[in-house]
Amino acid sequence: MHHPENDDCYTGLTVNSGVAQPPSVNPYLVRRRRKPLPSVAEMVEGIVKGDVTTLSRAVTLVESLNPEHQAIAQEVIEKCLPYSGNSRRIGITGVPGAGKSTSIDVFGLHVLRDGGKLAVLAIDPSSERTKGSILGDKTRMEKLSVHPGAFIRPSPSAGSLGGVARKTRETIVLCEAAGYNNIFVETVGVGQSETAVHSMVDFFLLIQLAGTGDELQGIKRGIMEMADGIVINKADGDNIERANLAMAQFKSALRLFPTPASGWSPEVLTYSGYYEIGIAEVWKMIDSYFDFVKANGYFDVKRAEQSRFWMYETINEQLHRHFYNNPRIKQLLAEGEALVLDHRRTSFAAAKTVLDSYFENKL
């Protein structure tokens, strides 16, 4: 058979002709069917009983992109709703390396010391990083990952931030129905995901590190404003002094912010997740926050506001997807874009053409 590498100039090299791929390696192999899905009622019953396998399965349906799975998931969530709400939802953020995983391990054991259950969820829209962090978190949350009262679920991967966040929000409902009375939602503190976490938790904890120079550099004002508590990690060894300095700087910076709607002035503390120093103090602060907002009514106000936010967020997300995934719209957008870039139409006229076509043809 002719092959370019069988040319005489390649001495010592012969490429043999291959054999055709047989139609099936084993024609007698019967494809094993996947276990059929339990009914919605069975799933709800399993979740409410606290069955972890059923809970995991339902969360997988929530995360699934398959519209059929999505429909089942929505029904399950709806039926779980009456059993949900009875938990403390705590958001935990910090830049990569701040010590979130290490801290969640000790914080988790601390909240579980008197019983109860804890679900650790995450929002991380960058699916690439998620793959790595599953491995990382398994080793860094070593005590929590084997604790019978803990349910650890990595971030739903892929999709827009809004989509990923909505899935986490829905997972909270399922976990609460399964009796998880403590929910931690972790996010990596580098961008927009903090806002998403903030919109689904009662308390937002910002983990910071003492660095060199101006401690407030690189921290977006918006993120500090969202925080109900700022904790400076790694206050151990020769880092204690710098951690205290950072604490003072954060305290004075916070004084310049207006009092938040909760009426609660955020506190700043130092601790060490690794050496387990100051953990009880951090949780005393969080306990006081819950006492405070439950007494002044803000706890319920915030949850109601969040429910409303998620209703609109879901509508926005679905509309966006419906519009941009439409093949005709894709084509019209490409045409419109070309005309705009060619200076033959204005942006507004091109947008109007696409939108008119969408609404008039009920695409």
Ligand X SMILES: Nc1nc2c(ncn2[C@@H]2O[C@H](COP(=O)(O)OP(=O)(O)OP(=O)(O)O)[C@@H](O)[C@H]2O)c(=O)[nH]1
Nearer to Mg ion, 94 or 229 (CB): 94
| Residue 88 contact among Mg ion, ligand X, none, beta carbon within 5 to 8 Å by kind | none
Nearer to ligand X, 119 or 329 (CB): 119
Write each residue from 87 to 126 as x if it is in contact with Mg ion (CB under 5 A), else as -, in one continuous string: -------------xx-------------------------
| Residue 199 contact among ligand X, Mg ion, none, beta carbon within 5 to 8 Å by kind | none
Query: Rounded to 5 degrees, what are φ and ψ at 141?
Result: -105, 50
| Residue 222 contact among ligand X, Mg ion, none, beta carbon within 5 to 8 Å by kind | none
| Residue 236 contact among ligand X, Mg ion, none, beta carbon within 5 to 8 Å by kind | ligand X
Binding-residue total with Mg ion (CB under 5 A): 2
As measured in angstroms, the least distance from the Cβ of 69 to ligand X is 29
Nearer to ligand X, 96 or 263 (CB): 96
As measured in angstroms, the least distance from the Cβ of 355 to ligand X is 41
| Residue 126 contact among ligand X, Mg ion, none, beta carbon within 5 to 8 Å by kind | none
Q: Residue 57 and residue 149: Cα distance in Å, rounded?
A: 18
Count of C-beta atoms within a 10 Å radius of residue 195: 14
Residue type, 6: N
As measured in angstroms, the least distance from the Cβ of 100 to Mg ion is 5
Q: Given phi > 0 = left and psi -120 to 50 = alpha, else beta, which region is 204?
A: beta
Nearer to Mg ion, 147 or 302 (CB): 147
> What is the signed CA dihedral for 335, 341, 342, 346, rounded to 10 degrees?
80
| Residue 98 contact among Mg ion, ligand X, none, beta carbon within 5 to 8 Å by kind | ligand X
Nearer to ligand X, 45 or 276 (CB): 276
Nearer to Mg ion, 101 or 171 (CB): 101
Using alpha carbons, select from 333, 322, 321 the residue that is nearest to residue 357.
333
As measured in angstroms, the least distance from the Cβ of 142 to Mg ion is 13
CA 247 to chain centroid: 28
Nearer to Mg ion, 102 or 270 (CB): 102
Q: Residue 228 and residue 290: Cα distance in Å, rounded?
A: 11
Contact set with ligand X (CB under 6 A)? 94, 96-102, 133, 136, 140, 188, 233-234, 236, 272-275
As measured in angstroms, the least distance from the Cβ of 68 to ligand X is 34
Using alpha carbons, select from 54, 50, 9, 17 the residue that is nearest to residue 35.
54
* Dihedral sign computed on CA atoms, order 148, 150, 151, 155: negative
Q: Is 168 in the site for Mg ion (CB under 5 A)?
A: no
As measured in angstroms, the least distance from the Cβ of 221 to ligand X is 21
* Dihedral sign computed on CA atoms, order 23, 27, 29, 32: positive
As measured in angstroms, the least distance from the Cβ of 220 to ligand X is 17
As measured in angstroms, the least distance from the Cβ of 140 to ligand X is 5
Binding residues vs Mg ion (CB under 5 A):
100-101
